[in-house]
């Protein structure tokens, strides 16, 4: 029997949808081993977020208010202390920027082995074996963590978002654990991009542009109309971000965000291995490129050979007409 503690990710006092992937992993481990899972809501607005988290079937939801913004040195001691007191076998979070920053520190405090960015787990015989991508997703490794406590982060694109599960779980307040290291770190502020478009990592439709768009102006005048017509999130290749066409937070790929929407449209993206690692889990992939030999053709469900500066405006108009007809 393995009990699991999920560390929720909060933003502006609300649960981020990324947390639901970690809950799905926790349920799979708990159901497969006869254990239970609990959730820790920690940060500013934790009590309010706990009320929403309580609807996803956890045995219990813990709430720890920590003012002053996210600082790993403030969060990790509380997570580790609760994991120890609760005798959890697994502590998990989603492998977002938050999870990648926090969970290794939790693992260090618990002297626990860490399995990061896992895409699946086997519970056969009560033994947990994690599947995780390696070499930009070209091969998969299977790992077993042999420490008493296992710290695991879940790849969001590989786990369906958990659905609400009926009756609300009980909520318990937990005091934050202080640490000397936290006093030497100061939270200065958070600069986040606010957009009317869907969040890139959570969107069901993503339209991404590559270096072939040639300029930031073309992203704005050629690609953005299609993005908005489709109600999509906008992404970009690393080459486009490095060229300064769009901000780095829009990068999709191995060193950017990993996405798996229902529909992914790649415009002027050749499909370098690093980019494919971040989007090839998409349900349907549409690629538009004038090079019929572009590597992205190997993973695309639909591949249109053509000049994007001609094709994209035409496609945008057709999408608008189709939406107007409905």
Instruction: Write out pLDDT tens, residues 45-95.
Output: 999 999 999 999 999 999 999 988 898 999 999 999 999 999 999 999 999
Query: What is the pTM assigned to this prediction?
Result: 0.84
Evaluate whether residue 136 is within a structural domain.
yes
Share of the chain above pLDDT 90, in %: 79
Q: Two tokens at 144?
A: 């077993």
320 lies in some domain: yes
- Looking at the fold, whether 108 and 225 belong to one and the same domain comes out as no
**In-domain check, residue 271:** yes
**In terms of domains, do 50 and 158 share one?**
yes
At 177 the three-state DSSP class reads: coil
The reply to whether 137 and 216 lie within a common domain is: no
Residue 246, domain CATH: 3.40.50.1220
Is 311 part of any domain?
yes
Domain co-membership, 141 together with 220: no
- Phi, psi for 34 (deg, rounded to 5): 80, 20
Q: 310 and 278 in one domain?
A: yes
- What is the rounded CA–CA span in Å between residue 48 and residue 42? 11
Q: Which residues of 221-233 are buried (b: 16+ CB within 10 A; e: fewer)?
A: ebbbbbbbbbebb
Do 145 and 55 share a structural domain? yes
Q: How far apart are CA 145 and CA 141, in angstroms?
A: 13
Q: Which two tokens stand for residue 182?
A: 């936290």
Same domain, 218 and 277: yes
Which of 184, 212, 242 is the last residue in one of the domains? 184
> Does 193 map to a domain?
no
- 32 and 105 in a single domain? The answer is yes
Q: Output 136 or 270, whichever has higher pLDDT.
A: 270
Q: Answer whether residue 195 shows pLDDT above 80.
A: no
Of 17, 15, 21, nearest in space to 40 by CA = 15
Cross-strand bridge partners of residue 93: 153
Q: Over 80: is that where the pLDDT of 192 sits?
A: no
Work out the number of other CB atoms within 10 angstroms of the CB of residue 146.
7
- DSSP-assigned letter for residue 257: B
How many domains does the structure of the chain reveal?
2
Helices marked H in 86-236 = 97-110, 216-218, 224-229
Closest CA to 110 of 92, 123, 127: 92
Instruction: Find the domain containing 69 and state its range.
Output: 4-184
Going by pLDDT thresholds of 50, 70 and 90, the confidence category of residue 157 is confident
Predicted confidence at residue 181, as pLDDT, reads 82
Tell me the CATH number at 75: 3.40.50.620
Residues 171 and 204 reside in one and the same domain: no
Whether 8 and 150 map to the same domain: the answer is yes
Higher per-residue pLDDT: 183 or 213: 213
């Amino acid at each position: 029997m393995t009990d699991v503690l999920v560390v929720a990710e909060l933003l502006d006092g609300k649960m981020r949808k990324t947390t639901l992937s970690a809950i799905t992993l926790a349920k799979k481990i708990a159901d497969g081993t006869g254990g239970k899972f609990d959730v820790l809501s920690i940060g500013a607005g934790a009590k309010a977020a706990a009320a929403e988290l309580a609807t996803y079937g956890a045995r219990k939801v813990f709430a720890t208010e920590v003012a002053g913004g996210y600082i790993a040195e403030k969060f990790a001691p509380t997570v580790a202390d609760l994991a120890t007191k609760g005798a959890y076998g697994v502590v998990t979070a989603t492998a977002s920027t938050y999870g990648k920053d926090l969970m290794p520190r939790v693992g260090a405090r618990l002297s626990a082995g860490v399995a990061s960015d896992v895409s699946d787990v086997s519970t056969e015989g009560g033994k947990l074996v994690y599947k995780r991508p390696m070499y930009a997703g070209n091969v998969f490794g299977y790992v077993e963590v042999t420490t008493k406590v296992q710290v695991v982060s879940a790849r969001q694109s590989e786990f369906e978002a958990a659905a609400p599960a009926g009756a609300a779980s009980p909520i318990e307040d937990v005091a934050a654990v202080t640490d000397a290291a936290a006093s030497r770190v100061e939270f200065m502020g958070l600069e986040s991009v606010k957009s009317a478009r869907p969040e890139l990592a959570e969107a069901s439709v993503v339209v991404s542009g590559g270096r072939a768009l040639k300029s930031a102006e073309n992203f704005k005048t050629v690609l953005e109309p299609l993005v908005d017509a489709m109600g999509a999130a906008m992404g970009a290749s690393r080459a486009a971000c490095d060229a300064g066409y769009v901000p780095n937070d829009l990068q999709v790929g191995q060193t950017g965000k990993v996405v798996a929407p229902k529909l992914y449209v790649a415009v002027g993206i050749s499909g370098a291995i690093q980019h494919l690692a971040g989007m090839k889990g998409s349900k349907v992939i549409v690629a538009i490129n004038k090079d019929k030999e572009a590597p992205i053709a190997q993973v695309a469900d639909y591949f249109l050979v053509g000049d994007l500066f001609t094709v994209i405006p035409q496609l945008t108009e057709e999408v608008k007409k189709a939406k107007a007809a409905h």
